[in-house]
Structure 1
C-alpha cells in the first residue's frame, strides 16, 4: 500500500512539473531541441547567444571556427556577467551595467534569446544556466537553452555552420528586475536564524563534506543545515546534456520537492547553483527557488560564519 501511494505521489509530481514548466513563459519552453531551433533559423526575432568558453574544457572548438548561423558570442568570464561587490567575486553586477551588456549583444524586449552552451560538460551548461537566470532576473522571459548545445547541433553534418567573429547590432535593453530571486548573505543568515528556508548545495559531495576545498573558498564544508544535491547527477554521464525531465524529477529528494518555503541554491560561486535553480524552478515548476550568487566564496569570507563538515545520515 505504501509503495502504491509513493508511486501515485511521484506521478503527481511529474505531471505537475510537466504542466508548470512550459507555462512560465507562455509557449516558449525553458529547454528546446535542435529541431525547434533549425525550424526557426533565420527568424529576425531570434537571437542565438553562444556562451562557449574555457569552462567547457581544452577541446572546445573556438566560436570563430564554427558556430550556428547568425549566432552572437559572449565571453562569460570577461564580458561582465559576474562582478566583485564588497570584496566578494562572481556575484550579479548592478542592473545598469547588465543593461549595457545585454544591449551591446543586441538583446531587447523584441528578441527571443536562445542560449547555446558548447555541450561537452555540466559546468559548461552551468554557464548557460547562469546567463539564462540573469536574463530572467532582469525580467527578460523570452529566453530558452538549446538542449545539448552546439555539439548536438554539429552532430548532424547536414546542419549549417558559420565561421568568423560575431558582430551584434546594439539595442536598448531596459530591465524589469525581479531581485527577489537573488539572495544575499544577510538573507541566508536570517534564513538560518529563523529556519525560514531550505538550502541546497550543488557542489560535489567531497566539497560539501569538506574533504576538498575549491580555491578561493576560505573554509571547508557547507552552510549549516544545507542538503547536498550535486548538479552533475542531472546530466547524461560524460556530456553537458540534461537527462529527461521525468528522470530529473526523480533525482530531487522529496524533502526538497515538498518543502513549503523558499529553497535557496548555492555552490562555490553561484555557477553550479544556477543549474539547480534551472532544473527545479524552470523544468520542474517548483515555484519559490532562489539563488545565492555569492555562495561559499561569500559565506566563508567571514570566519565568524558557521560551517559544517559532517555529512547528514540519509534516509
Structure 2
C-alpha cells in the first residue's frame, strides 16, 4: 500500500475547505485538512485510513483503496504512571502494529476519513490524527466531512472487502508537547496564560450528567465550556466550520487562542476534535490534549471538581 511521494506546491493549501496553519514544506498533504476534490486528484499519493465503529459497514461503501481501522483499536486500557487508565493512547509498539496492519509505511502521507455524517464521527478522525502527531508523524490530514463529503462531491464509493498488504510503519519518539499532563492541567486552573476547555455537552459540564468511568460530576475549575459539536456543521456532511466563525465562537465561549489551551472531555476522545481545531485550524501552537481527561482527573478524589448542579 506504499504510494509514491510527490511534493505538492504550497498553493494547494487552497484546496482545503478552510484556512489552516502553514504546512510543512516537504509534506505531500497540503495541510492538516483536505477536501474531497483534493483527495480524488491525489488519491495515489497517500494512504487513506477509514476509522469507524462499525467495520461491517465498511464493505458496504468506502473510498476505493481505503483501509478500515476499528475505532475500538485506537484507544486502550493501560497502566500509566502506576495507575490503570481507560480509553487512553496506545503505546508506541501497539500503535505501530495497528498502522502496519492498516498498510501504512514509514513516512507515508496519510489522509484520515470516517463516515462523516455527524460530529461524533469526525472526532474519531481527529483522535487518530492526534495519535499520529504524538508519535511524530507529521504528513497527515483529515478529510473534511469524511465519506459523506466525498459522496456529496460526486465521487464514487467502492464496495466489498479489501486486501491489505502490511506496511512497515515505525512510531517515532513521543511528542510530549501535544499532551497535557495532570500536573499541567492542575497548574492551568490558576494560570491565566493557559485556558482549560471542557468539550463535552453542557449537561456534563454542569454536572447534570456523568459518564460511568468518570468518578465525579462537573468540570475542572476555571474550564470554559466549548462543546465539540460547535466545531462542525449540523446539516449535511459534518464539515468544519470556517475559521472566522470558529474563532468568534471560541472567543464568545471564553476560549481565547492568544495563550495556551488544554482540551479535555470525559476521556480525550471528543476533545481531540477541539484540540485539532485549536492547534491546526486556529493556529494555536500551544494547544494540548488531556488524554484520559475527566476519567484520569477524578481518579484522585483530592482533585477539585466544580459542580454547578450541586453547589
User: TM over 0.5, yes or no?
Assistant: yes
Deviations 1:76-116 (A, max 9, x none): 11x24333322210111222322222223222334110100
Shifted more, 190-199 versus 211-220: the winner is 190-199
Shifted more, 302-311 versus 216-225: the winner is 302-311
The structure with the largest helix share of the pair is 1
Q: Does 1:202 find its partner at 2:199?
A: yes
Candidates 132, 135, 141, aligned match of 1:135? 132
> Which residue number corresponds to residue 154 of structure 1?
151
SS at structure 2 position matched to 1:74? strand
Q: Does 1:63 find its partner at 2:58?
A: yes
Candidates 284, 296, 299, aligned match of 1:298? 296
Moved over 4 A (4+): 24-27, 193-196
Contact (CA 8 Å) 1:108, 1:174: kept in 2 or not? no
Q: Does 1:106 find its partner at 2:92?
A: no
Give TM-score scaled by structure 1 length: 0.83
Give TM-score scaled by structure 2 length: 0.83
Contact (CA 8 Å) 2:105, 2:167: kept in 1 or not? no
Equivalenced residue count is: 285
How big is the shift at 1:21? 1.0
Candidates 167, 171, 189, aligned match of 2:168? 171
Candidates 8, 14, 35, aligned match of 1:33? 35
Unpaired segments ≥5 residues, structure 2 = 1-17
Tell me how large the CA RMSD over aligned residues is: 2.3
How big is the shift at 1:246? 2.3
Following the alignment from structure 2 to structure 1, what is the Cα–Cα distance between the partners of residues 294 and 97? Answer: 28
Deviations 1:265-310 (A, max 9, x none): 1000101110111111001111100000110111112222110023
Contact (CA 8 Å) 2:36, 2:153: kept in 1 or not? no
Q: 1:168 to 1:184 in 2, by over 3 A?
A: farther
